[in-house]
Structure 1
Amino acid sequence: MSDEREQHPSETFTFTQLAQDGAARRGRIDMPRGSIRTPAFMPVGTAGTVKAMYLDQVRDLGADIILGNTYHLMLRPGAERVAKLGGLHEFARWPHPILTDSGGFQVMSLSGLRKITEEGVTFQSHVDGAKHFMSPERSIEIQGLLGSDIQMQLDECIALPAGEKEIARAMELSLRWAERCKAAFGDQPGKAMFGIVQGGDHKELRVQSAKALAAMDLKGYAIGGLAVGEPQDVMFDMIETVMPFLPQTKPRYLMGVGTPDDILGSVQRGVDMFDCVMPTRAGRHGLAFTRHGRINLKNARHAEDHRPLDATSDCPATRDYSRAYLHHLVRAGEPLAGMLLTWNNLAYYQQLMAGIRDAITGGRLAAFAAETRAEWVKGDLPPIG
């Protein structure tokens, strides 16, 4: 099965499983604005832009969908203004699928003073200090004004470590909010609302959350509250705990993950969708992700290294610029450094996802994972000879 981008636009939101290898599955999500090949990595376009990239570039690298952030867009330029300007797709010139998060994570982590009640959360903007109120219904309303294709329920994402009682309280509140988000979203055949499994690092709470969300018969399911500082083995354990209780016929999205190794391990456990700021943020800070692992272009060892990051890559940023030049740009603080390294990083992430999809189809994901991990250890080694 080829990994060429094929469009199967559908008036309804549908998920089709095309192949399986162990717990990993290859599939395709079809909706009116196009198709999403899974497992998929969604570049993060926080404020309507994937930082340091043209969206045409992002598309050309292989992205079928990008993510927008409800919290940031509601503060600037405002959801009602985006709607007046034709919605986020037209505003940002991205006519393909967009997923918006609910804004809950940013409310909990970025805003100033905040107060959580059964009705919602009152919070202070990190931009100008203004007070706002977000209920589950308002979160869905904002995402509707933005015009996104996949919308996330409002949930309470608490920081770990936390006590079991506090984790249970937040998980149960999130379930009640999921019901309200489902009612507010209503019947939109060509779009989807995903529920979010919470429960921290407690297996029983995760199972309770997953079972309750599955009973709501939503169009997709996310696993939230992970990749927030817990060890990787804890994250994988929570994924393995939850998976048996999520419907096999619906897509599964691990929020905010992550490193290439996190993604590879999560795919092997049945996850279909990922997003993370890591490739773009790392690019702006001099770190390249490559087939050979991570390369820190700040290191002086690259100052006279004429080799590109990877001579075999199809990405011009990866193939055509020397490590010495990239090192110079990083050390000089030139904006081009972030542009080229972000381009490289997103290219690598999409190449990794394409390789994963092909490996699942060929029934050789375990071998692909072993080969890929073996290459990563070569990352920041000095030149040979």
Structure 2
Amino acid sequence: MNFTRNIDLFLFLIMLAITHSSSQSTTAGDVITITKAINVAKPGCQSQCGNVTIPYPFGIGPGCFLGEWFEITCNTSFNPPRTQIGRLQLLEFTDYTFRLANKVASQCYDPFGNITEDNPVSTSLGWTSPFSFSQKNQFNLIGCDDFALFLGPLQANFTSGCIALCSKPEEVVNGSCSGVGCCQTSIPKALKYYDTSVGSMTNSNHTKIWSFDPCTYSFLGEKERFTFNGVSDFMDPNFRNRTMASVPMLVDWVVGNLSCSEARSAGMLACQANSECVDSDTGVPGYRCICNNGYQGQPYLEPGCQDINECEDPNNLCDGVCTNTPGNYTCSCQDGYVGDGLKSGRGCTKKNSEFPVIKFSLGKLILIYWPR
């Protein structure tokens, strides 16, 4: 056991000496309009599995998805039915991403340092798939005498990890993951596979901290969905299950393996009316279709994106009359009012019912009000 731990630690320390750079993600925000389209799926195809709405290019059943990687299975042996892509449970689609149920690696000890639980985990999105783990995820380690290895596939030449240390509960700060009780690190672009395992940094195997930290955990998860709760996380016997249920993994998806110009030249561009093609920025070849400004809906299916009636939005900019136009809207004032019709501008004010007219007569200045 000690030999195995020392090998792991040696590899980990070598890993820390490896320098690698990873740019921050420029993936578009968490936009959810494609699942709200009138024609979310292809005609005659199932668009719902349990609580998950499934938008084309994904689909259930023959002829309902764009390509093999976009095939979805609705597993009705669960209640509610479980949406799966391959063997992975899918929780939600957005216009650029989907969320997967998480996996958490763990190792637990008894008061004498014996390992009572050891669960390494790995997740693969498929080496040739149009999917990759979003850089809006981060790798997390929770523990006080621990290291975690985070390995990518050999083809990616990626290795990372974390060390988390502390000797007493008072050292641990809620919400802080700077290496005391909690460590976090970023991941590179285009990551499609990872393997993570955890181990003790010392030969004591948590015996000196077991009273408040009997287990250690590591997982990949969406940054905005996880907050470290300090010692209460150490002591929570349900931490692993709770994290798997509340902290998903975010996956970027793109269409095809061509750029916009290449797909257009080949006559294979999937983007429909009132949409534009945007080249992938995920590190994986391909592109996305997005609705033009002022439009929303399903850019991958005919008749394409539909005009948004901004005048129905109470937060539009108009103070007067709102007129919807294709992809836009205008603001004006109703008859009898003047101004620019904007809440942030001059708005609309009522015209005077009378206005002064100046006339000259026999050298006298006479002010006459002329009725309109």
- Shared fold, TM over 0.5: no
Q: Between Structure 1 and Structure 2, which shows a larger proportion of strand residues?
A: 2
How high is the TM-score relative to the length of structure 2? 0.26
How high is the TM-score relative to the length of structure 1? 0.26
Query: Using CA pairs below 8 Å that are at least 6 residues apart, which structure has the higher relative contact order?
Result: 1
